[in-house]
Amino acid sequence: MNVQPDLEFIKYIKGAGGDTLKKCYQCATCSVICPLSKDGKPFPRKEMIWAQWGLKDTLVTDPDIFLCHQCGDCSAYCPRGAKPGDVLGAIRAYAYTFYGWPSGLAKLATSAKNLPILIGIPALVIFVMWLLSGAMHIPTKEHFATHGYQQFFGTWGFKWYAKNIFFIVLFMVPAAGLAVLSTFMGVRKLWRSMSEKAGVNSSFRPSVMQFVTDFLWPSLVEIVKHSRFRECKVNIDRVKGHLPMMLAFIGLFIVTCWSLLKNDVLGLFWPSLHGPLSIYDPIKIMANISAVALIYGAFVLWTNRSKMESEGLSTRTFYNWFLIWEVMAVGVTGFAAEVLRWLGIPTVGYIVYFLHLVAVMMLFMYMPYTKFAHIVYRTTAMAFEKYRESPFAKN
């Protein structure tokens, strides 16, 4: 067998948290412990040797690296302290950069030294938009009590489209669109690479409806239930963080959709619907519960990761912490902005709301290149896992 190692890839893995890689001596303890390991597929033993050999192209097309949810069992039981969980996390971090587009932005999101730029880009964009809107001033307490942040970018006489929404759309939609496009291109490339590696016959394909019902939907249900997370032994507490965070994002998505419908569609015909929601409104209650769940989930993951690092079960990396920081920033600034509106403090409220917009834009922009991307890539790998065992892949 002629092995062509990618030395730069090995260097990246060691620098991204997989610095214990060379301690592995293929004892297979990790494969015995891991519930994902199967006969003929000794996971993550085979990935560890591939990483030691620098087989980048083999690893980034391996669906098993995305199926791993880093429960920590393999690292806890490894007799050599090789920390396979951290190595796999480093491989995934590389894969998100490998599949990310544009490549310059993907590489920017890989290092803590770039954090000022990562924050500065959306902060500058939103600041310029606020300046151009002509509304860069702090409102009175009375105006703040009536409108909240719904006139942050000002207002105009054209009732069919609010000025505030117009300016928010100007920067949020491109940021989200970039994330969607980058994710689509990455997932398509990953699926083709996995299919080619697995020798899947592409001449016999399921319909879109068959693919959704037989492969995609069951994968989504499994993710929502956190079924595989519950198989963890060492790091079972991660369920307490991931689950409320996931439900919080679903709740906040519903709240955002209703807010847009209420203010910018129904509000055109019933002006009384304009303005912030009452604290007793069911949607507002859902929003506040979701915000608390988001902060709680991020806090659990924060403390859990800190504990694992202090016990030597995990290595501290920018890749592992960036998403936790981002989610915490979104939750804390959003909830704080709401509290400041209740207290009637517009000066601090507007500053915190500005920071909230920055945090949300960062979450959108950098989603395909951070740990958040695991949601999409893991779903894709789970669907492929089911697909490659089906008659469609074997005919």
The two tokens of residue 91 are 């491989």
Maximal CA-CA distance, the chain: 76
Top-confidence residue, 373 or 393: 373
Top-confidence residue, 129 or 33: 129
Sign of the CA dihedral with 96 first, then 248, 250, and 116 last? negative
Res 240: pLDDT: 78
Round to whole Å and give the CA distance between 83 and 323: 21
The two tokens of residue 138 are 């702090």
When pLDDT is averaged across residues 368-387 and rounded to a whole number, the result is 90
**Domain regions of the chain by residue span:** 7-99, 104-394
Res 230: pLDDT: 67
Q: Is the pLDDT of residue 293 over 90?
A: yes
Predicted confidence band of residue 203 (pLDDT cuts 50, 70, 90): low
* Listed residue (22, 70, 18, 16) closest to 43, CA to CA: 70
CB burial of residue 85 (10 Å; 0-12, 13-18, 19+) = buried
Render pLDDT for 26-78 as a digit per residue (tens, 0 to 9).
898 989 888 778 777 788 899 999 998 888 989 999 999 998 877 778 888 88
* Listed residue (134, 112, 115) closest to 123, CA to CA: 115
When pLDDT is averaged across residues 153-171 and rounded to a whole number, the result is 88
The winner for highest mean pLDDT among 201-215, 251-265, 352-366 is 352-366
When pLDDT is averaged across residues 320-349 and rounded to a whole number, the result is 93
Res 388: pLDDT: 85
The β-bridge partners of 38 are 41
Round to whole Å and give the CA distance between 75 and 142: 57
Computed over every residue of the chain, the mean pLDDT equals 87
Predicted confidence band of residue 294 (pLDDT cuts 50, 70, 90): very high
Render pLDDT for 260-277 as a digit per residue (tens, 0 to 9).
787 777 777 777 676 677
Strand intervals (E) in 28-153: none
Round to whole Å and give the CA distance between 56 and 9: 6
Matching residue, tokens 């291109």: 185
Who contacts 46 (Cβ-Cβ below 8 Å, separation ≥6)? Answer: none
